[in-house]
Amino acid sequence: MHFTVSKGVLQKGLQKVVGVIPTKTTIPILENVLLDLQGEKLKITGTDLEICISTDISVNGTLDGSCAVPARSLNEILRELPELPLDIQLEDGNKITIKTQNGLYRLGSQPKEEFPSIVLEDSEGQLDIDAGLLSRMINKTVFAVSTDELRATLMAVYFQFSAEELRCVATDGHRLVKIINYQVKSPDFHKDVIVPTKALSLILKNIETIEDPEKINVNLSIGENHIIFNMQDTLIYSKLIEGQYPKYENVIPIDNDKKLTVDKTELSAAVRRVSIFSNSFTHQIRFAVDGTKMKISSEDVEYGGEGNEVINVKYDADSLEVAYNGVYVIDLLKHIDTDEVNFLLKDSVSAAIVTPSTQKEKEDLMMLIMPIRLSED
Amino acid sequence: MIIKRLLMGLLRRFAPRNDRKFPKLGVIVQTLISYKNYSTNKIDFRIHTLIKNRVKILPEDLTNKIAAGEVVDRPASIVKELVENAIDAGSDEIFILLKNGGKTLIQVVDNGTGMSREDAILAIQRHTTSKISNYDDLHNIKTLGFRGEALASIASVSRMELKTITNEKDAGSLIKIEGGTIDDVIDTGGARGTSVAVKNLFYNTPARRKFLKTDETEYRHILSFIQRFTLSCFDVSFTVYHNDQKIYDVKPADPEIRLVDVLGGRYKNNLVTVEDKGTVLQIWGFVGKQDTAKKSRGDQFLFLNGRYIVNRALNHAVISSFGTIIPRGEFPLYALFLEIDPRRIDVNVHPSKMEVKFADERLIYNLLRAAVKRALSSEQVIPSLSPQIGVTPQPISMSKEDFLAQQTAIPLYETAPRTQKFPGLDIPQPQLPEKKQAIQMPPSDEKFERANIWQINNQYILSEIKSGLIIIDQHVAHERILYEKALKDFEISNPASQQLLFPHVTELTPDEYSYLTDILPFLEKIGFVIKGFGGNTVVIEGVPSGMKISSPETILNEIIDEFKQNRSSSLDIRDNVAKSYSCKMAIKKGEPLTLEEMNNLIDQLFATQSPYFCPHGRPVIINLSIEELDKRFGRI
């Protein structure tokens, strides 16, 4: 293997892959990236065995070949080097040298055969979605996933492909987000899959590097046990999470008839301030809504802190008092794009539906938040 | 002929009746009749010989062997009897020589009062003792031995040499006994005292010999007896040899020094003195500090009027007074001496005298427990790293003085009230003033240099403080926080319950269900919302707010399980629920924490009443001072 490439191009390619490299692994080969040169195309691949990312960059190739090199060392030297042409060559099958005008760096390498290869099963369906839209669907849901490693199915976003729509759902059991896009249709196949959070955040990272995501198509290819996101020169493969996603439709309330409309910015700011004085365990804040006023309050019995603010709201049902985890409220509000936010309420122990005051075209965004039950005193 | 007629009369009278009480009489009479042909003058009338093949009066040597079975069941019990005798004789120097775990030789040499020849010969017979003389004495026992059977029992199953000298000017006696029979008595000279050598134990009782364990095992048993003596007779020196190797050589010493001598350096500066002089019961002695507790039993000694006893209830009294600061499955050292009017106890329960009956066990239990608790509450120790490098073993944790010195050195702990109760004790009732105190807990100078905080192995949190660094175990730290929070939650009616989007239905066993009904009110106070779903099935609709709960049903099961297991201990129900809950809910080791989470944990930890120990008594914080580091690096 022998090629020359500019430092910037190689670094940019490596950046796309390096995120998947596990920081702690019992399998040392996973700390490597696979370099595979064919003609003028260098494929850089990294994997943690669940997710695999590979990206192609253009190089000036003189001799085809491949090897696996330590990702961290390669990344570090590239970071320290100025923008220079690099001459990279595999020597004796177990070393690669990186030559610059003034320098020579040698890295241990391993043969390609040592590097795990992903066996691709047949895909059951394909669909194209623009990168901007995909990014939006993921961004709106991924914040609400569970961080609990014991519940793998909730550490993921539920993708539902159907002829009418694409639906993404995330929940951690306390809150839930559902976003439907009616533009993205897959008439040929219906499939529900659970995609792990790590893969999604890698996709987001990759899309961020794209200048005009709305103009780039991402090709999704879904198999029995895997999903592949293919965009431009990069391919992200992820195993799907096996298991049953909770039957979320059943918990979406249909009889929440108390509608509360609030200015999102005002509410968000008030909640942030009041939350500072909430209990650091529960982050509990209270909404006490009565007519056109809502009092947001918190109290930390243990440390003696408390705070409250009153804001103007639109509300015409019976007065109601309900408590939430302030962190969840702030999270939800972050993902509302409109100036006003709607809360559909029922009582102090049931889920509240949170929606933007107006939906985006061909989209339906809905969030659920479970209250913290108030004492009966 | 008169006699024959008489006998025939007897026969008629007894034989046909086949008397149940005297079945033999008929036989006897018939036998007598058969003598009719002999001269009436010379009938041999030894009825004894006739019945001896059935019931017989045991010859003395045999009764001694049987009795020996009770008193002397293994070499260790011989050592015990002989040392007791030596102590009762007022010795202050005792030598013990052992060979092959005592099987070949046990010799106990003392410098006590000795015995006159007559006394010595008498002593080898059973139920001879100089220690009591009448029944009343039996209820007023102050010496260790009293039953008067030991020497005779031992002598009957071994070859024994008893040498005793009462006065250096007069001739002493050397008595050789084989299998309980005196072989020889000769004059001897030497220093005052008694020496009993027991050789070839059980040489004449092969069955019993077979039951002896290996030399090592027997030796260990002997050692544990000797240990008890060394821990109760501080003014006696003990020298012990086994197979010509010196095992113990302890000189008369202060109890505390003796204890460390015998039980090891780990207890140096790690003993808490217990003292309580009541009218009924006088208690004194030592308990080990919590971080010297061992996973195995063995360092627990209870002496009643100088005699080592085993008593489950009193053992429990001591262990339970440690409350939660000693984890389950670990056992603190204690060596406690109880003095009580001998009339209030009965030690004559079993020949080994290790069991004692108390006239009022409950009272003794409570007094003992209170005394130990009081002693413990005067101490509060932060476990610190033990310098295990280096030659001299050093105390594992600081003495009280060191601790107080350190307290002034580290501002972090300065505000901790010195009169604060022992961690883990008496917390279940939080009081308002204490809550206030909790609010004031983290004043500005207690703050960590928060930039420097790390998580190690996803298990420990390391943070720099002014005087060095502290290491916090994340699981037990969280456990402590949750535990105290649960106890507070029980008091206030303000449970914060995060409602679940997906209620969890779980089926319990009838057993679990019944426990759940017991603890449900408490779980609700913590924030669980659990409802019946028919049968033993329940549905969990809410969980304590702010908790990361993957599987509420598993947590519930675990809490019930833990509660069940702890039930037998003396915990009250709320304490038990709080413990079970905190243990199961706390973040586990291996969980990565963000900087914010770590900061939060530390803040909350130091707001608790006893941040240094988890509810089970394990240390939460280890403190590594700069001084300590300097020491390790050989700077000072």
Confidence of residue A227 (pLDDT cuts 50, 70, 90): very high
State the smallest CA–CA distance between residue B545 and chain A in angstroms: 5
Any A CB within 8 A of B492 CB = yes
Fold: same for A125-249 and A253-369: yes
For residue range A70-120, what is the model confidence (pLDDT) as tens digits? 999 999 999 999 998 999 999 887 899 999 988 999 999 999 988 988 777
Residue B412: per-residue pLDDT: 36
d(CA B238, CA B248): 7
Looking at the domain covering A125-249, what would its CATH class be? alpha beta
Any A CB within 8 A of B603 CB = yes
Residue B24: per-residue pLDDT: 54
Residue type, B565: Q
CB contact under 8 A, B545 and A246: no
Which is higher by pLDDT, A32 or B441? A32
Which residues of chain A are at the B interface, by a Cβ-Cβ cutoff of 8 Å? 146-151, 171, 173-176, 246, 248, 251, 279-284, 301-304, 323, 325, 349-351, 368, 370-373, 375-377
Contacts of A371 (CB under 8 A, 6+ apart): A322, A323, A324, A348, A349, A350, A351, A352, B499
Eight-state DSSP code of residue A371 = P
Contact residues on chain A for B551, CB-CB shorter than 8 A:
150-151
Q: Which of A149, A150, A373 sits opposite B499 (nearest CB)?
A: A373
Contact residues on chain A for B604, CB-CB shorter than 8 A:
280-281
Q: Is the pTM of this model over 0.80?
A: no
State the smallest CA–CA distance between residue A117 and chain B in angstroms: 30
Q: Which of A146, A281, A373 sits opposite B542 (nearest CB)?
A: A373
Residue A57: per-residue pLDDT: 95
Residues within 8 A of A (CB atoms), B 116-145 only: none
Q: Is the four-CA dihedral B514, B518, B524, B527 of positive or negative sign?
A: negative
Any A CB within 8 A of B598 CB = no
Residue B26: per-residue pLDDT: 53
Residues within 8 A of A (CB atoms), B 515-534 only: 527, 529
B482, B491, B545, B596: best mutation site toward chain A, by most A Cβ within 10 Å?
Answer: B545
Eight-state DSSP code of residue B55 = S
CATH 3.30.1370.100 fits B454-622, yes or no: yes
- What average pLDDT score do residues A322-349 get? 94
Mean pLDDT comparison of A160-174, B145-159, B461-475, B489-503, highest-scoring range = A160-174
For residue range A116-153, what is the model confidence (pLDDT) as tens digits? 887 777 788 889 999 999 999 999 999 999 887 778 88
For residue range B536-546, what is the model confidence (pLDDT) as tens digits? 889 999 998 87
Any A CB within 8 A of B177 CB = no
Contact residues on chain A for B497, CB-CB shorter than 8 A:
372-373
State the smallest CA–CA distance between residue B550 and chain A in angstroms: 6
d(CA B4, CA B320): 79
Q: Which of A281, A283, A375 sits opposite B495 (nearest CB)?
A: A375
Contact residues on chain A for B607, CB-CB shorter than 8 A:
302-303
Average pLDDT value for chain B: 74
Residue B3: per-residue pLDDT: 60
Specify the range with the lowest mean pLDDT, choosing from A227-241, B23-37, B185-199: B23-37
d(CA A132, CA A216): 8
CATH 3.30.1050.10 fits A2-114, yes or no: no
For residue range B312-339, what is the model confidence (pLDDT) as tens digits? 888 888 888 877 677 767 788 899 998 8
Any A CB within 8 A of B458 CB = no
Residues within 8 A of A (CB atoms), B 604-623 only: 604, 607
For residue range A167-187, what is the model confidence (pLDDT) as tens digits? 999 999 899 999 999 999 988
Length of chain A: 377
- How far is the CA of B449 from the CAs of B166, B269, B472, B595, in angstroms? 74, 32, 15, 13
A248, A282, A329, A376: best mutation site toward chain B, by most B Cβ within 10 Å?
Answer: A282
Burial profile B456-495: b = 16 or more Cβ within 10 angstroms, e = fewer: eeebbbbbebebbbbbbbbbbbbbbbbbbbbbbbbeeebb
Contact residues on chain B for A350, CB-CB shorter than 8 A:
499
Contact criterion met (CB below 8 Å) for B453 and B446:
no
Q: Which of A246, A248, A372 sits opposite B496 (nearest CB)?
A: A372
Residue type, B300: Q
Residue B108: per-residue pLDDT: 92
d(CA B279, CA B265): 35
Q: Taking 60 as the threshold, does the pLDDT of residue B16 lie above it?
A: no
Q: Which of A150, A304, A325 sits opposite B545 (nearest CB)?
A: A325
Domain map of chain B by residue range? Answer: 40-250, 266-416+433-440, 454-622
Q: Which tokens sit at B436?
A: 């206030």
- How far is the CA of A272 from the CAs of A287, A295, A307, in angstroms? 13, 14, 11
d(CA A266, CA B627): 53
CB contact under 8 A, B498 and A372: yes
Contact criterion met (CB below 8 Å) for A204 and A175:
no
Any A CB within 8 A of B545 CB = yes
Q: Which of A150, A283, A370 sits opposite B551 (nearest CB)?
A: A150
Q: Taking 90 as the threshold, does the pLDDT of residue A357 lie above it?
A: yes
Eight-state DSSP code of residue B204 = T
Residue A177: per-residue pLDDT: 96
State the smallest CA–CA distance between residue B391 and chain A in angstroms: 37
State the smallest CA–CA distance between residue A105 and chain B in angstroms: 33
Percent of chain B with pLDDT over 70: 71
CB contact under 8 A, A325 and B546: yes
Which is higher by pLDDT, B211 or A198? A198
Confidence of residue B381 (pLDDT cuts 50, 70, 90): very low
Contact residues on chain B for A251, CB-CB shorter than 8 A:
501-502
CB contact under 8 A, B502 and A281: no
Length of chain B: 636
Q: Taking 80 as the threshold, does the pLDDT of residue B351 lie above it?
A: no
Q: Taking 50 as the threshold, does the pLDDT of residue A68 lie above it?
A: yes
ipTM for the predicted complex comes to: 0.78
Residue B421: per-residue pLDDT: 37
Domain map of chain A by residue range? Answer: 2-114, 125-249, 253-369
d(CA A25, CA A237): 19
Mean pLDDT comparison of B83-92, B411-420, B471-480, highest-scoring range = B471-480
State the smallest CA–CA distance between residue A349 and chain B in angstroms: 7
Mean pLDDT comparison of A329-343, B88-102, B348-362, B488-502, highest-scoring range = A329-343
Which is higher by pLDDT, B13 or B123? B123
Sheet hosting strand A352-356, strand order edge to edge: A191-196, A156-161, A166-171, A175-181, A363-369, A352-356, A340-345, A258-263, A314-315
Q: What SS3 class is residue B455?
A: strand
Helix axes B573-585, B474-491, angle to 10 degrees: 140
Chain B residue with Cα closest to A351: B501
Identify the CATH homologous superfamily for domain A253-369: DNA Polymerase III, subunit A, domain 2 (3.10.150.10)
Any A CB within 8 A of B496 CB = yes
**Of A274, A356, A269, A343, nearest in space to A313 by CA:** A343
Mean pLDDT comparison of A75-89, B183-197, B490-504, B518-532, highest-scoring range = A75-89
Contact residues on chain A for B596, CB-CB shorter than 8 A:
none
A198, A301, A350, A368: best mutation site toward chain B, by most B Cβ within 10 Å?
Answer: A301
- What average pLDDT score do residues A183-194 get? 89
B439, B498, B500: best mutation site toward chain A, by most A Cβ within 10 Å?
Answer: B498
Contact criterion met (CB below 8 Å) for A369 and A329:
yes
Residue B9: per-residue pLDDT: 61
Contact residues on chain A for B548, CB-CB shorter than 8 A:
147-148
User: What's the topology of domain B40-250?
Assistant: Heat Shock Protein 90 (3.30.565)
For residue range B293-317, what is the model confidence (pLDDT) as tens digits? 776 677 888 888 888 888 888 888 8
State the smallest CA–CA distance between residue A202 and chain B in angstroms: 20
Chain A residue with Cα closest to B495: A375
Contact residues on chain B for A173, CB-CB shorter than 8 A:
500-502
Contact residues on chain A for B438, CB-CB shorter than 8 A:
302
Confidence of residue B587 (pLDDT cuts 50, 70, 90): confident
Contact residues on chain A for B549, CB-CB shorter than 8 A:
148
d(CA B553, CA A168): 27
Average pLDDT value for chain A: 91
Residue A2: per-residue pLDDT: 94
Any A CB within 8 A of B432 CB = no
Confidence of residue B360 (pLDDT cuts 50, 70, 90): confident
CB contact under 8 A, B502 and A251: yes
User: What's the topology of domain B266-416+433-440?
Assistant: Ribosomal Protein S5; domain 2 (3.30.230)
Q: Taking 90 as the threshold, does the pLDDT of residue B29 lie above it?
A: no
Percent of chain A with pLDDT over 90: 75
Residue B599: per-residue pLDDT: 86
Residue B425: per-residue pLDDT: 37
For residue range B597-618, what is the model confidence (pLDDT) as tens digits? 888 888 888 888 888 888 877 8
Residue B359: per-residue pLDDT: 78
